[in-house]
Amino acid sequence: MEIQAAVTDAKGAPFAVQTVEVDELRPEEVLVKVAAAGICHTDLIVRDQWYPVPLPAVLGHEGAGVVERVGANVAKVAAGDRVGMSFDSCGACPKCTTGRPMYCDDFFARNFGATRPDGTTALSRGDQSIHSHFFGQSSFATYAVATERNVVKLPEDVPLEVAAPFGCGIQTGAGAILNVMRPPAGASVAVFGTGTVGMAAIMAAAVIGATTIIGVDLNPARLQLAHELGATHTVHAGEQDPVEQIKAITGLGAEFAIESSGVASVLRQAVDASAPTGVTGIIGAPAIGTEVSLDINELLIFGRSVRGIVEGDSVPDIFIPRLIELWRQGRFPVDRLMRNYDFDNLDEAAHDAEAGRVIKAVMRM
């Protein structure tokens, strides 16, 4: 079967829409006719090879669409179902079987290996194999081969272009607050970086009842939107010292801090701006091998902690429908972050995202 897919041929190469062939489905696989796919920071850093994903590959990991057909062993969805696609996991390791698939023992291979577990790919271009199964989907395409584990059934009334980014960026930011931090009502939260992930964290903090919510960024337009979406305070990091400003606002520092920019120096600021016994969650992804320097005694003496957060500690089948219900109620207006682009303009959308002209670019197939 021939489809259109945006192939990334080499490090830093543009997303080029080409005709490729799709392999036959395996018993556990699901063929999805993609309606929309969000562009995530991870797609861009993989294109630039910050993470060692093999190329040429079809990227994209925030897809949504309609099931075209399913493999012989698939029972969760059927042809005609509307689905979103999220991260993949094995379902059999200790983390998966105890409800923590985001820390699956095989997470990196299944999401960044860009092949099936047996090393094969589902896509080809003539005699050349094209790496597929990026995050179990490779959804920068008109059709995606997903797995039963990483598709989530969607309600009929939710636009697919709105639902698509829930599969990664939105559930990551919201889950960091709602699943991991769980600040009590009245708590203080500082969010470093107000892209999709940071904005989702700010909206989730407002939903859960945090009363001091501080957005930190360099982009004035994003800071204004952060204020409109729930931030009680904003800090322009190019004009003010975020650590000093957060302590001035909160007294001793933020009880909970989120670092979503992927910049090591910003992580240091987030930790330094946290209160005694405060928790800093790392979400932003820098290049493999990036290190950060922290004052050990500032952690030890004041009981501060730092932890990594993958996909918002979310079980997508449970968490994404809950977030969609909040969106339906008008309490989680993530569609305000989104701008739609035609699929042929994927490279333009990627550049707009990198330049900060758009928060969440969504491709419509």
Express each pLDDT in 112-134 by its tens digit: 999 999 999 999 999 999 999 99
Tokens representing 286 are 């820098």
**Do 194 and 284 meet the contact criterion of CB atoms below 8 Å apart?**
no
What are the strands of the beta sheet with 188-192, ordered from one edge?
A: 233-236, 212-217, 188-192, 254-259, 274-282, 305-308
H-helix or E-strand spanning residue 217: strand 212-217
Q: What is the 3-state secondary structure (H, E, C) of 57-72?
A: EECCCCEEEEEEEECC
Averaged pLDDT for residues 271-278: 98
What are the residue boundaries of the structural domains of the chain, listed by start? 2-167+333-364, 170-311
What does the DSSP 8-state code read for residue 309?
-
**What is the reported pTM?**
0.96
Q: For residue 21, what pLDDT is reported?
A: 98
CATH classification (class only), 170-311: alpha beta
* CATH number, domain 2-167+333-364, options 3.40.50.300, 3.90.180.10, 2.170.8.10, 3.30.565.10: 3.90.180.10
pLDDT at 52: 92
pLDDT band at residue 95 under the 50/70/90 scheme: very high
Quote the tokens at residue 177. 């607050």
284-297 average pLDDT score: 94
- pLDDT at residue 260, rounded to an integer: 97
User: What sections of the chain are H helices per DSSP?
Assistant: 41-47, 94-97, 107-112, 160-163, 169-175, 196-208, 220-228, 242-250, 264-272, 296-300, 316-328, 346-354
pLDDT for position 196: 97
Number of H helices, E strands in the chain: 12, 18
Map residue 356 onto helix, strand or coil.
coil
CB 56 within 8 A of CB 11: no
Q: What is the pLDDT of residues 143-175, one digit of tens each?
A: 999 999 999 999 999 999 999 999 999 999 999
pLDDT range class, residue 267, cuts 50, 70, 90? very high
Surface-to-core class of residue 153, CB atoms within 10 Å of its CB (0-12 exposed, 13-18 middle, 19+ buried): middle
End-to-end CA distance of the chain: 17
pLDDT number for residue 7: 96
| C-alpha to C-alpha distance for 333 and 328, rounded to whole angstroms | 8
* Structure-derived torsion over alpha carbons of residues 217, 280, 96, 203, reported in degrees to the nearest 10: -40
Rounded-to-integer distance, Cα 115 and Cα 99, Å? 24
